[in-house]
Every structure is written in structure tokens, then in C-alpha cells.
Amino acid sequence: MKKLPLLLCFLALFLSCAQSETLDEQLLRKYALQSFPEYLELLSIANVSTAPGDHLVANAKWLKSAFEKRGFKITIADNQNHPLVLGELMPFKPKQKTILYYLHFDGQPLINSQWSQEDPFKPVLKKRAANGSWEVTRMEDLMRIDFDPELRLFGRSTSDDKGPIGMFLASLDMIKAEGMRMGNNVKIILDSEEEISSPGISGVVEHHKDMLQSDAVVILDAAAHPSGRPNLVFGNRGVVTLTLTVYGPKVPLHSGHYGNYVPNPAMNLVQLLASMKDSHGKVTIPGYDSTTHLSADDQRVLHSIGDDEALIKKRVGIAQPDEVAPTYGESLQFPSLNIRGLSSGGVGASAANIIPKDAVAEIDIRTTQEANASYLVDLIKKHIEQEGFHIMDHAPSDEERSKFARLIQLRVGSSSEAARQSLESPIRFWGERALKDAFDGLPSSPQPVLIRAMGATVPTYEIVNPLNIPFFLMPNVNADNNQHAFDENLRVGNYLFGMRQITGLLTTPYP
């Protein structure tokens, strides 16, 4: 009888190995093909976080139905017309560990005229033409088992982040239909306001803390490594936004009558912005970067990623990157200061010979654990004051106009904190083992890429802090997906890639 536990261990190992061997290309294609109509239907529901209306509620209702069909018990947290969808796969098995999966279903704002299609919420299928451009092809080309993995679906949220939702649902269907064994209990949290820094998620997680309590959380977001290897990310930067408004005359003035006499607010603003960075792209504000210290182990991990920087520069169309750090991966470990928009007067046909009355800059700052939003915003405020500006939180009064030569309104927007997980934690070895098994048997059998922290932001901190659980991010979509911009797309081969990664996690027991 003493040999029974050992026999059970061997049996479990055999079943685990047998399960990973079933992840062949044709099996993934079969269930991807079955899921595409549902995925296209989800893409057709508008989902811009900042737009008025009840479209996010419509998304939440669709997701509730889709996950209930897969055996989930679903709760919708209203969150002031920005609902979050919470769920738990039934039946719950008390002896198994529980993994919480985070995805989001909202999308970035868009300008329809910039897109190379009639409507960003009417996905179109494209193939690469001989000249390198993308040309529309029939949707029927996707609905066949031998579909070309290089085809791409274009539309808002095809990649960020409805693509991973489609992959997740397809993986669940495949596991159930093929009799695979789930390795853990599964819970989900689907966010409707990630693109606006998830202001309501902390309250929702705190309110539903008992329901969401798990052993670990996996964030299914961000772009996969360009090498095509499976990848795990153990941190992300935070974000905070600023709006800077520099004031000039009370009303726009004739530039001939008042030029050389009335200061131009646009000129004052660009001079202020230029004072914040040098010609090499480094932030010049004292203390901004000084809190970031990369250990020898950090450097080793970053150098092992193997980014093809020549390819990155070619893809984005630049000759020389900023010189914040020696490599692409290392540069994302530092806090950033980005101008995301500028406005003053008009351009093109709307431009007039005036001194504008104000000039506005929209700023986003990517924060780190060592340099959070409060710390960096305080440094920026001190710098603005040192440049001779009087900072206000309102439009200037006549008294303020007569008293201060340089007037600026500073408004701090929503923020999300940075998070980072030790690469020596058990969750790393679980994820690494799951991906190795999922890709075992492929011609290359690629080793997973381990990334210390990515540059973008997701509400990891707002989830892991109240639940006090470890995490990692697992990106799935193609690196050149144009997320946050026009012509967002998903490479169909990455749908299969994501299914393979997700199935690996779903079927591998957590330690």
C-alpha cells in the first residue's frame, strides 16, 4: 500500500505529459475555428471607455452569457455604468489551488477617418500584398481549417484586449471537449475601464474580496515578445496623467498688432516642455531617474531577453532611439515622461494669424515602484515653479493675470500604481513549466522569455495588493498590433499561440 502514492504520482505525470501532447496544431485550429464567429460578434460591440452610452453594459451582458455557457457562476459589479464581470468556474474543487485571470474588454478612443476600413467595429480580414501593404480579403478565408496564420483581423480591440478573451473561451472549450484535466480552480475578473486606469477596480476587488480570493493572478494583456517565443512578464509600470494649460491674453489677438508685445502661451509651453528633457531623451528634472537601480541579476534577466533592436527600429521607423538606457528592455525599467497631445490655436485650414489665448499639453507619466505618481508629480511641480510659472488648479482671475507673468493650470488625472513580482517566486516556476509543456514537441521547443517588467500599465497593483497574492502577466498578441492607434489588428497565428499558452496554464496544477 505504501507504493500507491508513488504510483499516483507517476500516473499524474503521465496524464500531464499526455495532455500536453494533445496540443498539436490541428487541434488548436479546430477550436479556434469554432470560436471565431463568437469572437467577431464580441468585436462588433462598441467598447470605448470614455464614450457615453451603455455599450460597456452591452459588452458585460455578452460576456456574462458567454462565460455562463462554459459553466461559470457570474456576478456583474455595476461600477457606475462601467461594469466589471466577475466569475468562478463551477464546480469548485476545494483541494485544488485557484488561479484568478484578469482581462479587459474596453478599448481606446478612435477617429474613424484614420482607419483603413469603414467602421473599426466591423472587423475586416486582410492579407499581405506583394508590395508589403495590407489588402482586404474574404472573411471566408478565416473560416477554414487550413487558414493562413499570417492573416490579420483589423478592428478596435482585436488585440487589446478582446483577442485574449476569445483565446481564453476557445481554450476552455477545447479542454472540456477533449477531456483534458483542469489543473486548478478558475476565477475571472473582466475590466471595462482599463484604458482609463481602472479607477473603480480597487473598490470592486475590496467589496468582492472573499469571492475573488485566489492563490495567484494571471494578467492576460500586452503584446507578445517579437521573437515568437512564449513569454512571462513579472511587473508593469504605473501611469498618471497631467494636463498643463498655459495662459496668454484673455482672447486671441491679431499677431500683427500684438506680436513682439504680448507673450505667446504656446511658445511658453513648448519652452517649458523642452526644459524637461534633453536632446537624448533623458528627463532632466533632478531626482526623476535616480531611484531606479538595476542589480546584477536584473541586468542578467534584461540582457537574456534578446530583443532585436534593429528590427524594432525598422518596424517603428526611427534611426536612433532615446538614450535613457543602453537597450530597449532596460529603458522600460525607468519612469517616463511623454507628451501625448498638444493644442493651441489651429492648424491647416483652421490656422489664423493670432496669438492664442492658451496652450494645452496632455502628459502621461509611466511610474515605477521606486518612483510612484506622487513622487514624480511633486518633482514636476517644483520644476515648473523653478521655470518661473505660477501654478493654479483653476483658470486665472484678473488679479492673478495682473500679478504673475507666467500662469499655468495643472490638473492631475487618474493614476494606477506600478507592481513587480520576484522572479524567484513559485509562480515563476509554475508558469515556466506550463509553457514549456505547452510548447513541447514543436520543432524549436522554445524556452520562455522572462521579462522583469514591461513598460505599459495594467491594474495589477490594484488587484494583488488587497488580495495579497503573487502574479505575472502573460502577453499573447503580436507585437506589431497597433494597439491604442488606428488600424489595430491581430495576427491570426497569435490566436493559436495564445490558446497554446492559456491552455498550458489552465491544465498545469499550481504548486
pLDDT digits (tens, 9 = 90+) for 139-160: 999 999 999 999 999 999 999 9
Domain(s) labelled CATH 3.40.630.10 in the chain stretch across 18-236+418-507
Alpha carbon of 115 to those of 49, 111, 418, 426: distances in Å? 19, 7, 32, 44
Q: Would you state the cell numbers that stand for residue 299, as one nine-digit string?
A: 541586468
Classify each residue of 465-474 as buried b or exposed e, where b means 16 or more C-beta atoms within 10 Å of its C-beta.
ebbebbbbbb
What's the rounded Cα separation, in Å, for the pair 93 and 226?
38
Task: Return the amino acid letter for 295.
Answer: S
3-class secondary structure per residue, 428-446: HHHHHHHHHHHHCCCCCCC
Rounded CA-CA distance 296/24 in Å is 39
pLDDT band at 417 (very low <50, low <70, confident <90, very high): very high
Higher pLDDT, 408 or 10: 408
Query: Radius of gyration (Cα) for the chain, nearest Å?
Result: 25
Q: Are 407 and 389 in contact (CB under 8 A)?
A: yes
Output the pLDDT for position 444.
Answer: 73
Paired sense of beta strands 231-233 and 449-451, if any: parallel
Average pLDDT, the chain: 94
pLDDT at 2 over 60: no
Q: Given this model, what pLDDT does residue 446 score?
A: 82
Q: Beta-carbon neighbour count of residue 116 at 10 Å?
A: 14
pLDDT of residue 21: 44
Q: Is 99 exposed, middle or buried (CB count within 10 Å of its CB: 0-12, 13-18, 19+)? A: buried
3-class SS of residue 255: helix
Residues of the chain with CATH 3.30.70.360: 238-292+334-416
Q: Residue 11: pLDDT above 60? A: no
- Higher-confidence position of 79 and 446: 79
Which set of grid coordinates corresponds to residue 227? 521573437
The CATH number given to 18-236+418-507 is: 3.40.630.10
Nearest to 170 by CA among 131, 215, 220: 220
Report which of residues 474 and 10 the model is more confident about. 474
**Residue 333 near residue 292, CB atoms below 8 Å:** yes
DSSP per position, 12-81: HHHHHHHHHHT--HHHHHHHHHHHHHHHHHHHTS--BTTS-SSHHHHHHHHHHHHHHHTTEEEEEE-TTT
Specify the CATH class of 238-292+334-416 in words.
alpha beta
Average pLDDT over residues 17-30: 73
Task: Please report, to the nearest 10 degrees, the dihedral formed by the alpha carbons of residues 437, 438, 443, 448 taken in order.
Answer: -80
Q: How confident is the model at residue 12 (pLDDT cuts 50, 70, 90)?
A: very low
Phi, psi (degrees; rounded to nearest 5) at 338: -120, 135
Q: In terms of DSSP bridges, do strands 216-219 and 98-104 run parallel, antiparallel, or are they unpaired?
A: parallel
Preceding omega of 252 cis (within 30 degrees of 0):
no
Q: Is the pLDDT confidence value at 375 over 80?
A: yes
Alpha helices in 71-190, H assignment, sequence order: 162-177
For CA atoms 320, 326, 332, 334, give the dihedral sign: negative
Residue 28 near residue 500 (C-beta atoms within 8 A): yes
Q: What is residue 4's predicted lDDT score, i.e. its pLDDT?
A: 42
Per-residue pLDDT at 16 exceeds 50: no
pLDDT digits (tens, 9 = 90+) for 221-236: 999 998 889 999 999 9
Of the chain, the end-to-end C-alpha distance in Å amounts to 25
Indicate the DSSP class of residue 182.
Answer: P
Residue 19 pLDDT more than 50? no
Q: Residue 373 has what pLDDT?
A: 96
Q: How confident is the model at residue 1 (pLDDT cuts 50, 70, 90)?
A: very low
Q: What is the DSSP string of 344-391?
A: -S--GGG--SEE-SEEEEEEEEEE-SSS-HHHHHHHHHHHHHHTTPEE
Question: Considering all CA atoms of the chain, what is the largest pairwise distance in Å, rounded to the nearest integer?
Answer: 100
Cell numbers describing residue 122: 466591423
Q: What is the mean pLDDT of residues 269-292?
A: 97
**Dist. CA 437–CA 75, nearest whole Å:** 33
Percentages (nearest 5) of helix, strand, coil residues in the chain: 35, 20, 40
**Hey, which bits of 306-357 come out as E strands?**
336-343, 354-355
Summarize pLDDT for 163-203 with one digit per residue, the tens. 999 999 999 999 999 999 999 999 999 999 999 999 999 99
* pLDDT greater than 70 at residue 22: no
Mean pLDDT of 194-218: 97
- CA–CA distance from 249 to each of 19, 255, 262, 265, 267 (Å)? 71, 12, 7, 8, 13
Q: Find, among 489, 491, 478, 483, the residue nearest to 116 by Cα.
A: 489
For residue 343, the cross-strand partners are 360
